[in-house]
């Protein structure tokens, strides 16, 4: 789209917005006419609430506590296989999966819907997350 068309569209949108407010019609009214060749985009912005932040913090804390329990078990057994499904880990609300002699995966789901995961593989511990929340930035926590 060239600059002339952009300015023309911008003027139309400003006029339509002003006309709508003068007539008592919301500028988000789906019945308003849209100029030909214009694409309508609808977005939803979710603002994290303090409750979501607290829920995320609680889930991350549970996973960190589960890591501590699994590592303590490993110190005694020298394998992770029997450590991820212990009563202590399950009581934290954390799911242990993919346990091997040298690694494991622990996941905790926040009430906000975000899943926080810790994976130990080959000595390195990697913390990832999936979901749109304050506690999950670019897939890591």
Q: What is the percent of the chain where pLDDT is above 90? A: 57
The predicted pLDDT at position 122 comes to: 81
pTM (2 decimals)?
0.66
Ordered alpha helix ranges (H), 1-141: 3-22, 50-77, 87-91
Residue 81 pLDDT > 80: yes
Give the E-state strand segments of 87-123 in sequence order: 95-97, 103-109, 115-121
The predicted pLDDT at position 116 comes to: 98
Q: What letter does residue 111 receive in the DSSP assignment?
A: T
Mean pLDDT of 22-30: 51
Higher pLDDT, 12 or 117: 117
Select from 118, 103, 139 the least CA-distant residue to 60.
118
Q: How far apart are the first and last CA of the chain?
A: 41
Structure tokens at 42: 């609808």
> pLDDT band for position 22 (50/70/90)?
very low
Neighbouring-strand partners of residue 140:
128, 137
């Amino acid at each position: 789209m060239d600059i002339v068309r952009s300015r023309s569209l911008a003027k139309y949108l400003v006029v339509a917005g002003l006309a709508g407010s003068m007539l008592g019609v919301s500028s988000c009214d789906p019945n308003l006419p849209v100029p030909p060749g214009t694409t309508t985009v609808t977005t939803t912005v979710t603002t994290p609430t303090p409750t979501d932040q607290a829920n995320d913090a609680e889930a991350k804390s549970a996973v960190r506590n589960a890591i501590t329990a699994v590592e303590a078990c490993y110190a005694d057994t020298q394998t992770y296989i029997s450590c991820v499904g212990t009563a202590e880990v399950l009581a934290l609300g954390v799911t242990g999966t993919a346990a091997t002699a040298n690694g494991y995966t622990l996941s905790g789901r926040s009430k906000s819907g975000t899943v926080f995961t810790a994976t130990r593989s080959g000595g390195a511990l990697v913390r990832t997350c999936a979901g749109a929340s304050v506690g999950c930035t670019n897939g890591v926590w």
